């Protein structure tokens, strides 16, 4: 089996969402779904749609929700041979509702589902791989999932792959900021690329101010920090340069998963040796397009569409 360029590890979920805005999850109302989801899975799907070989390490139940996920990932070119099918528990589920002020509320079933039964990584998975992608949501879900991520980081870097880390974290689920930093340290210490929001950069470092926090991450050995700034685009920090790139204007339908699409665009840009500015444009394009369809994975853009929005010349892959 040929090794994939990019390997993503973590939770596989289906998302079931309210049809109406401002419909709280504690009251009866209509839902729509299931939609394939899970932050590391959205990342994997987008990277594959950009033309790169991607494998996923995770688990689903032997049920129709698991089939929903496997069918979608296979359709978009993700190698699913490392995804276990678990008969003893159901596929992970997230319920979500949206509010008029742009906020969201979730109920997750992750650690106690098949999503929490990630198989152990093997050294052979990473021979020839270029990137391993880890999400903070996976570190947050359970101790078993956390340890799997740590082990994957060790194996990947030993094989010469680089680690990208999106700290999409909820400190209230991890026992506060100090506990969060402790949990993230083994991944940050291995990471070549970190993709935080303002708040996440500060949480990871304990440093006030996003720019100062990103500088602190560079001092810790991270090569590139892609600071997500929402509607303002992103700012990229590296040892030799700092680049700010504006966002693309699109009609936002569903913002869930847009950050994961951004991550995939950034990893692909670095893989293809684009400049930091070009890489940021591709990431912004993927993030913008990721928000234009209902369902967290539905906006993942094909290569031609993402490169066109980013105004980048596209070589065939």
Residues tagged active-site: 260
Residue 286's alpha-carbon distances to 155, 268, 302, in angstroms, are: 29, 11, 9
Query: Using omega within 30 degrees of 0 as the cis cutoff, is the peptide bond preceding 260 cis?
Result: no
Are the C-beta atoms of 201 and 213 separated by less than 8 Å? Answer: yes
What's the CA gap between 255 and 99, in Å, rounded?
A: 12
- The two three-digit tokens of residue 243, written as one number: 């680049």
Whether 157 and 187 have beta carbons less than 8 Å apart is answered as no
- Closest-CA residue to 59 (of 112, 122, 17): 112
**Cα gap 263→287, rounded to integer Å:** 8
Q: Which helix (H) or strand (E) holds 59?
A: strand 54-61
Residues 6 or more apart whose Cβ sits within 8 Å of residue 218: 225, 237, 238, 239
Which residues fall within 8 angstroms of residue 63, CB to CB, at 6 or more apart? Answer: 90, 91
Instruction: Please choose, from the candidates 296, 180, 137, 164, the residue with its C-alpha nearest in 3D space to the C-alpha of residue 225.
Output: 164
Distance, in Å, from the CA atom of 43 to the CA atom of 54, rounded to the nearest integer, reads 10
Q: Is 3 within 8 Å of 128 (Cβ atoms)?
A: yes
State residue 185 phi and psi, 5-degree precision: -55, -45
Element (DSSP H or E) covering residue 212? helix 210-219
Query: Rounded distance, CA 263 to CA 257, Å?
Result: 10
């Amino acid at each position: 089996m040929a090794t994939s360029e990019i390997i993503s590890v973590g939770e596989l979920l289906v998302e079931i969402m309210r049809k109406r805005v401002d419909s709280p999850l504690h009251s009866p109302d209509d839902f729509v779904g299931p939609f394939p989801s899970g932050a590391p899975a959205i990342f994997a799907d987008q990277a594959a749609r950009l033309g790169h070989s991607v494998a996923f390490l995770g688990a689903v139940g032997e049920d129709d929700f698991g089939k929903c996920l496997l069918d979608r990932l296979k359709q978009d070119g993700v190698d699913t041979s490392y995804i276990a099918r678990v008969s003893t528990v159901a596929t992970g589920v997230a319920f979500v509702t949206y509010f008029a002020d742009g906020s969201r509320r979730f109920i997750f079933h992750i650690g106690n589902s098949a999503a929490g039964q990630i198989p152990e990584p093997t050294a052979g998975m990473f021979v020839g791989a270029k990137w391993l992608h880890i999400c903070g949501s996976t570190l947050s879900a359970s101790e078993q999932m956390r340890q799997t991520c740590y082990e994957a980081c060790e194996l990947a870097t030993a094989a010469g792959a680089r680690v990208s880390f999106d700290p999409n974290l909820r400190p209230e689920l991890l026992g506060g900021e100090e506990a969060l930093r402790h949990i993230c340290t083994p991944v940050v210490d291995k990471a070549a690329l970190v993709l935080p929001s303002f708040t996440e950069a500060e949480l990871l470092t304990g440093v006030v101010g996003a720019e100062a926090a990103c500088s602190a991450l560079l001092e810790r050995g991270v090569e590139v920090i892609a600071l997500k700034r929402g509607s303002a685009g992103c700012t990229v920090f590296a040892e030799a340069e700092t680049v700010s790139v504006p966002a693309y204007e699109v009609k936002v339908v569903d913002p869930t998963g847009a950050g994961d699409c951004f991550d995939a665009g950034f990893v692909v840009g670095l893989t293809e040796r684009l400049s930091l500015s070009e890489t940021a444009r591709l990431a912004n394009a993927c993030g913008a397009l990721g928000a234009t369809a209902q369902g967290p994975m539905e906006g993942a853009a094909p290569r031609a569409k993402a490169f066109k929005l980013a105004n980048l010349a596209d070589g065939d892959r």
